[in-house]
Amino acid sequence: MLTFFSAISTQGVERDKLDVIVLKNGDRLTGEIQSLAYGRLEVETDSMGTVQIEWPDGVRIESPQGFMLEDVEGYHLYGSFARASKERELAIATREWATGLADNQSSLEGILGVDWRIFDFATPKTNLTARAVPFPSLTESGRYRTDSSVSLRREIVSDFYLDLSFYHTYDSHPPDELAETSDYGVVTSLGYSF
């Protein structure tokens, strides 16, 4: 789902307004995508100035431009928005590389998950995200991994934010026998959106 991502253009200079946003009612808006974060899509247009669209009203984004995407776990990806097979969906393949002394190995895993979000479009903007994803191994008997996090973002004053996040990962049988089975932490930050 695109609402799981924040996106910003990778070009620092003004570019052609070739991005197309299709809304649920069939309207099409052409402009330059500025950002997509927490359910709010910001688009700069030639005739209407900057427009903010609540993503539940959107269906599809198409753009030949390159964007830097960040998912809720903090992973960064680069790509353009092509026509997706389903509305409001973006498919991305993942692969895990172990560090340490372990040899490379392949493992087939299942994935289950729960992602819960609350966000408020009004000011002050507030976003709460909770996520829990277990990865049971289908090829290694008894092995499973989990990935969970809780994040809160609160606007203190106009476009100035406080972020507070907690994450925890677990691997019942890490590839390296000396590796820890759990990793967790708390992250706080202050930021300005412009």
- Domain locations along the chain: 2-79, 114-192
User: Which pTM value belongs to this model?
Assistant: 0.50
Looking up tokens 């688009």 gives 43
pLDDT of residue 168: 93
Q: Output DSSP code: residue 88.
A: T
Is 55 in contact with 23 (CB distance < 8 Å)? Answer: no
Please name which of 135, 148, 144, 149 lies closest in space to residue 171, comparing C-alpha atoms. 144
pLDDT of residue 78: 64
pLDDT of residue 83: 64
Q: Does domain 2-79 have CATH number 2.30.30?
A: yes
Prior bond to 124 cis, omega within 30?
yes
pLDDT of residue 182: 93
pLDDT of residue 172: 92
pLDDT of residue 12: 46
pLDDT of residue 85: 63
Q: Which residues, 6+ apart, have CB-to-CB distance to 162 below 8 Å?
A: 153, 154, 156, 188, 189, 190
Looking up tokens 């927490």 gives 38
Low-confidence ranges of the chain (pLDDT < 50): 1-6, 8-13, 90-92, 94
pLDDT of residue 125: 83
pLDDT of residue 4: 39
Q: Cα(first)–Cα(last) distance of the chain, in Å?
A: 24
pLDDT of residue 6: 46
Is 57 in contact with 10 (CB distance < 8 Å)? Answer: no
